[in-house]
A and B are shown apart, each in its own frame.
Chain A
Amino acid sequence: MLWHIVGRELFQQLNSLRFLFALLLIIFLMILNAIGHIKQYKTRQIEYRQQVSTALERLEKNSDNLYNLVMRGPGGLNKQPSKLAFCAQGSEDYLPTSVLGWSAGWSRSSPTYKVSGLWRLMYDVSPPITGTDIFPTFLKIDWILIVSIVLSFLALVFAFDAISGEVERGTLRLTLSNAVARGTVLVGKFLSILMSLGVVLLIGILMNLLLLSGTLQLNGQEWGRIVGVSVVSLIYLSVFIALGLFVSSLANRSATSLVILLLLWVIWVLLIPATFGTILSGLNQPLSTQDYKAQRSSQRKEITERYEARGVYEHVPTRVRPPTDATVLWAEFLNEERRADFRLNKEFLAARTHQIQVAREFNRISPTAIVQYAVESLAGTGFQRHLDFLKNAERYADAFNDFLIAADRADPDSLHVPFVREGMSDKPVSFESIPKFQDSVRLGDAFKGALLDVMLLLLFFVVLFATAHVSFQRKEI
């Protein structure tokens, strides 16, 4: 019986004018997306390779002396662009593409001794804007935009008269006079709308992937993630179909139903994700850049003064074996300065990212925000991915420092007092043995990041569908 209803409804939907409109719209947008992505992907890949090779060249140049590596670090650590950026651009333009692992940017010289700070990771405090961005603002056309805005709108247009329209025409009475449970009718309507939207989405996705297949070579893992994105999209659309059915069963005229749905859509889809989190996260302001810079220099001053009191500038480190007190004190000073500076930088970054995370938590009252975060996680773009990248970079920084210590250990002439020049080896290091930074998206991270969001979407769907069910059961016809 259910499939009989689904078949009938599906036939109606596929023959309707709105299906045709929807199909044309989605195909048009998917083609645009593919064209744009091919160009963007190529430039991003070229840029990434260039950045990586300059970083490696620099590293090779610095490997002529171990202490050069200690001072100058591994260079820029670059974020690998995602192949699936066409699913979700994830505001990549606003995120830094690298973390600097360069020299500290301070040095001190006295008549007897010249010293500069140890290398450290530096999170950009104010990434420069790109001049080419100055352009009337527009949204990037990616799958998220197509699904979360255009298809959710279409879902409402498909569902608004599913019940109220039949009430108006009097055909619902006819259907229910047969031996069909109301629940079956509702499920049948739901499935038929979902299927017709699914057809639209599927055709769009296939067109898109067909165009992209020339440029992108996707591996099995990436195909898996694309399937994940499609499933998340369908769950998201189900939420809106359930909402449409709910309002449609409440209203007695289909026009009323559509008007209510449109207002809900504008608020839920367009306005809440753009305002709610932004307003609430504004209440909790991280340190301003200026204050951070002031704090940073006062901290450096404080450490320097503390060590000066201990007489660091009076004695110069030497290569005398066993290491003198001055050598050890200098090592302690340099290490503490680096640690404290990095900690401050990291706290500052954490406060900033926390503000965004709070905003994202609040934005999750809109399924549009949820689907955006889920798809971004799956596609390996956006904010969560950026945080993963930063974690990768930090892990690498530790590995790099461990390598420096190990390389120093291997040199019998060294005093083994990291990280002061006189306490360490100054021999060349074999470039091959230096660990290289390799950024990658891990499948586990991607699915784990999306899991919570998918659960939330399912929750939205279940609640809305149950409400629609109850309201349809109790409806007088």
Chain B
Amino acid sequence: MLWTLIQREILANLMTFRFPIAVIACVILGLTITAALTDNYERRLASYNEAFQTHQEKNFSAKTYSGLTLQLDRPPNPLSLFNQGLDKRAANSVRLRRDKVPSVWEDNYFSTGFDNPFRHLLASVDIVTVFQILLSLLALVFAYDAIAGERENGTLHLMLANPVGRGLIVLSKYLSAMICLMLPVLISFLLALMLQLQSPVIDYSTADFLRIGGILLTTIVYLSAFYLIGLLISCISRRTATSLISSMFIWVVLTFIYPNASLFMVNHFIETEEKIEQADRETSQIMEGFQREKAKLRDPFAPPFLLKGHWSGGSISKDVTHIEAASELEIPTVKAYYQELEPQRLRAVEAAWVVRKQAYSETFVHRSTAARNALRLSPAGLYYLATAAYAGTDLAAMEAFFKAVRQYRQTILDYFYDKKAFSSRQWFASDKGAVRWDDLSRFSYQALGDLTEDSSRASGELLRLLLLNLVLLIVTIVVFSRQEV
């Protein structure tokens, strides 16, 4: 029985002019946006490769231990084609120094997501944005007259005269419309994916395909949520016109006004400045304390100079290229100075980091968690969050990069301790040969991290979306069953 009903409904849906419009709109938009984004990705990858090459050459050119500063790059994420998330906005090039612990919330890093920073002025969309707007609209357009229309035409009476359960009718309408709506989605998704694979630089692994599968699944669940919203409205409304207009208002509120207004309010009501300023004060106190300790020590590079010779470098890095024989006697004093100073510096930096980390978690992290929670109340928000997690472009993925950078910083510090670098001559002088960095492991970072971690974040959102679907379906069936026709 269900199958007969579904067949009837599918045929009815396919015959309307909505169906070809849906297919054409999805395909055209999906393809143009994919083409533009693929091109953009290729450029970003090229610029990353170039930057990576130059930094690779420069990074280990320091001749002394204290001269080591590194520029570490985050590669662009190919799945940002689906949901760009924060991929173009978060910092993608981090200068790593021993006197600073890097964090995603620092504001002195650079993002070359667009090489031309003015490009941020032009809105840029991705596949998920297009689907988020277009599919929800299509779902409502397919749903608004599903029940109200039949009631107006009087065909609902006719159908109910047969021995069919009302729940079955709702179910058949739902399933048939979903089959019809999935067609344009699958077609445009497949075409977009094929177009992406044409690019010589995009090469997805199995894990990446699983992520793309996750995005597709979320898209379908999102579509179904909006169809059910439309169906419920259609069920409640007496007239198709009312159903259509209420659907449109609900659409504009759910996809547009609610997400923007809620984020706006979160941004507005969660204060960050005061706590950050306080943290700034505390960190500068810590660093001043360190400077006072430093002032107690005799700085060999402050006049009168202990070493006679040539050197270069700034406040934290020194490179002495030539020491006059008469100064050789002073070398142990200089070594002792650094052995005393550097661990103190690192302790101060660590203490400052603890303060800042605490401040960030109370302000920015807290605010972005609140924003995520607010977004969860709208299916459009859930769709964005789930796909960003699958694509590895959400905040957690950006933080993962900084976590890797911090770990690498720790590796370097451990390496210094292992080598007893602070108390070595090569800490400040390269006159007896430059430091060889061969045995220090190199930093490497993949744009796409661990699949299980990302998908566990995504599946939380997906589950909420599924739950919403279930609730909507049950409510629709209950409302429809108790209604007078």
Q: Report A's interface with B, CB cutoff 8 A.
A: 17-18, 21, 25, 28-29, 32, 35-36, 39, 43, 91, 94-95, 126-141, 145, 149-150, 153, 157, 161, 165, 254-256, 258-259, 262-263, 266-267, 270-271, 273-275, 277-279, 281-282, 285-286, 288-290, 352-353, 355-356, 359, 363, 382-383
B245 contact set on A, CB distance < 8 A: 17-18, 157
Q: Is the CB of A266 within 8 A of B133?
A: yes
Known contacts A126-B117, A271-B130, A355-B116: A132-B261 contact under CB 8 Å: no
Q: A35-B268, A285-B43, A383-B118 in contact; A278/B124 too (CB < 8 A)? A: yes
Contact, CB under 8 Å: B116 / A275: no
Q: Nearest residue in B to A353 (C-beta to C-beta)?
A: B118
Given contacts A262-B248, A290-B51, A359-B122, A135 and B267 within 8 Å (CB-CB): yes
A297 to chain B, nearest CB (A): 13
Asked if B36 contacts A266 (CB within 8 A), the reply is no
Chosen A-B contacts, 26 in total, with CB atoms closer than 8 Å, are A17-B245, A18-B245, A25-B257, A28-B257, A29-B261, A35-B268, A36-B268, A39-B268, A126-B112, A129-B111, A131-B105, A134-B90, A135-B263, A135-B367, A153-B252, A161-B241, A254-B241, A255-B241, A259-B141, A270-B133, A274-B122, A275-B36, A278-B122, A279-B32, A356-B116, A356-B121
Q: B368, A259: Cβ atoms under 8 Å?
A: no
User: Which residues in B have their C-beta under 8 angstroms from that of A138?
Assistant: 259-260, 263-264, 267
Minimum CB–CB distance for A276 against chain B, Å: 9
> Which chain A residues lie closer than 8 Å to B216 at the CB level?
none
| Cross-chain contact of A273 among B123, B134, B256, B368 (Cβ < 8 A) | B123
Residue contact B39 to A132, C-beta cutoff 8 Å: no
Taken residue by residue from 87 to 115, chain B's Cβ proximity to chain A (1 for < 8 Å, 0 otherwise) reads as: 00111000000000001111111111001
Q: Which of B39, B123, B141, B264 contacts A32 (CB 8 A)?
A: B264
Give the docked Cα–Cα distance between A281 and B264 (Å): 30
Q: Indicate if the CB atoms of B17 and A256 lie closer than 8 Å.
A: yes
**Given the complex, which residues of A lie within 8 Å of B17, measured CB to CB?**
256
Cβ B121 vs Cβ A131 within 8 A: no
Please provide the 7 A-B residue pairs with the shortest distance between their CB atoms, ordered closest to farther.
Answer: A131-B107, A138-B263, A94-B120, A274-B123, A131-B105, A279-B36, A130-B107
CB contact under 8 A between A128 and B118, given known A135-B367, A136-B375, A259-B18: no
Measured CA separation A266–B248 after assembly (Å): 13
Contact between B364 and A134, CB atoms less than 8 A apart: yes
Instruction: From the candidates B39, B104, B385, name the one contacting A134 in the complex (CB within 8 A).
Output: B104
A129 to B272, CA, bound (A): 17
B50, B120, B267, B371: which contacts A91 (Cβ < 8 A)?
Answer: B120
Tell me whether A134 and B119 are in contact (CB under 8 A).
Answer: no
Contacts of A259 in B (CB 8 A): 18, 21, 141
Residue of A nearest to B381 (CB): A136
Alpha-carbon gap, A35 to B36, bound state (A) = 37
- Other 11 A-B pairs with CB < 8 A, given A129-B107, A285-B115: A28-B261, A94-B118, A129-B91, A135-B364, A136-B385, A138-B259, A150-B257, A255-B244, A275-B36, A279-B35, A288-B50
Taking CB as reference atom, which chain A residue is nearest B50? A290
Please tell me if B40 contacts chain A, counting CB pairs below 8 Å.
yes
**Once bound together, how far apart are the Cα atoms of A268 and B468, in whole Å?**
31
Q: Is B384 positioned at the interface, with any CB of A under 8 Å from its CB?
A: yes
Q: In the bound complex, do residue B368 and residue A134 qualify as a contact, i.e. CB atoms below 8 Å apart?
A: yes
Check B104–A383 contact: CB distance below 8 A. Answer: no
CB distance from B311 to the nearest CB of A (A): 15
Task: Identify which of A21, A263, A273, A383 contacts B249 (C-beta below 8 A).
Answer: A21
**Min distance, Cβ B58 to any Cβ of chain A, angstroms:** 12
Is B33 on the interface with A (CB-CB < 8 A)?
A: yes
CA distance A296 to B265 in the complex (A): 45
CB distance B86 to A352 under 8 Å? no
A215, B120: Cα distance in complex, Å: 30
Contacts of B110 in A (CB 8 A): 126, 128-129
Q: CA separation between A312 and B260, bound complex, in Å?
A: 61
B121/A91 in contact, CB under 8 A:
yes
Contact between chains at A132 and B272 (CB < 8 Å)? yes
Asked if A355 and B119 sit within 8 Å, CB to CB, the answer is yes
How far apart sit A330 and B124, CA to CA, in the bound complex (Å)?
Answer: 49
- CB contact under 8 A between A134 and B121, given known A32-B264, A258-B248: no
> Are the C-beta atoms of B109 and A266 separated by less than 8 Å?
no
Bound: A267/B28 CA distance, A: 11
Q: How far is the CA of A256 from the CA of B21 in the complex (A)?
A: 12
Contact of B89 among A39, A134, A140, A290 (CB under 8 A): A134
B263 partner residues in chain A, CB cutoff 8 A: 135-136, 138
Q: Are B105 and A352 in contact (CB under 8 A)?
A: no
Assess whether A134 is in contact with B398, with CB atoms less than 8 Å apart.
yes
On chain A, the residues within 8 Å of B108 by CB distance are: 128
Q: Which of B115, B122, B130, B141 contacts A281 (CB 8 A)?
A: B122
Give, as a whole number of angstroms, the nearest-CB distance from A257 to chain B. 10
Interface residue? B377 (CB, 8 A):
no
When the two chains form their complex, are residues A134 and B241 in contact, meaning their CB atoms are under 8 A apart? no
B372 interface residue (CB < 8 Å to A): yes
Q: Is residue B29 within 8 Å, beta carbon to beta carbon, of the partner chain?
A: yes
B73 within 8 A of A: no
The answer on a CB contact under 8 Å between A262 and B268 is: no
Chain A residues, CB < 8 A from B252: 25, 150, 153
CA distance A372 to B13 in the complex (A): 38
Does B358 interact with chain A (Cβ within 8 Å)? no
Give residues of chain B (302-358) contacting chain A, Cβ–Cβ below 8 Å: none
Q: How far is the CA of A453 from the CA of B263 in the complex (A)?
A: 31
- CB neighbours (8 Å) of B21 from chain A are 259, 263
| Residues 121 to 140 of chain B near chain A (Cβ within 8 Å) | 121-125, 129-130, 133-134, 137
Q: Which residue of A lies closest to B375 (CB)?
A: A136
Contact call A290/B248, Cβ cutoff below 8 A: no
In the complex, residue of chain B having the shortest beta-carbon distance to the beta carbon of A92: B121
Contact indicator per residue, chain B 395-425, by CB within 8 Å of chain A (1) or not (0): 1001000000000000000000000000000
Given contacts A266-B133, A290-B50, contact A277 B244 (CB under 8 A): no
Contacts of A141 in B (CB 8 A): 260-261, 264
Query: Which chain B residues border A128 with CB–CB below 8 Å?
Result: 107-110
Contact with A along B4-21 (1 / 0, CB 8 A): 000000000000011001
CB of B263 to closest CB in A, whole Å:
4
B residues within 8 A CB of A153? 248, 252
Instruction: Indicate with 1 or 0, residue by residue over B354-388, a CB within 8 angstroms of chain A CB atoms.
Output: 00000000001001100110010000000011000
Selected contact of A383 from candidates B105, B121, B240, B364, CB within 8 Å: B121
- Residue pair B125, A135 in contact (C-beta under 8 Å): no
A133:B256 contact, CB within 8 angstroms: no
Check B466 for interface membership: any CB of A closer than 8 A: no
CA distance A266 to B140 in the complex (A): 14
Interface centre among A94, A134, A141, by most chain B C-beta atoms within 10 angstroms, is A134
Interface-central residue, A36, A131, A161, A165, by most chain B CB under 10 Å: A131
B25 at interface by CB-CB < 8 Å: yes
Give chain B residues whose Cβ lies under 8 Å from the Cβ of A270.
Answer: 133
A230 to B385, CA, bound (A): 36
Closest A residue to B106 using CB positions: A131
Let me know if B291 is at the binding interface, CB within 8 A.
Answer: no
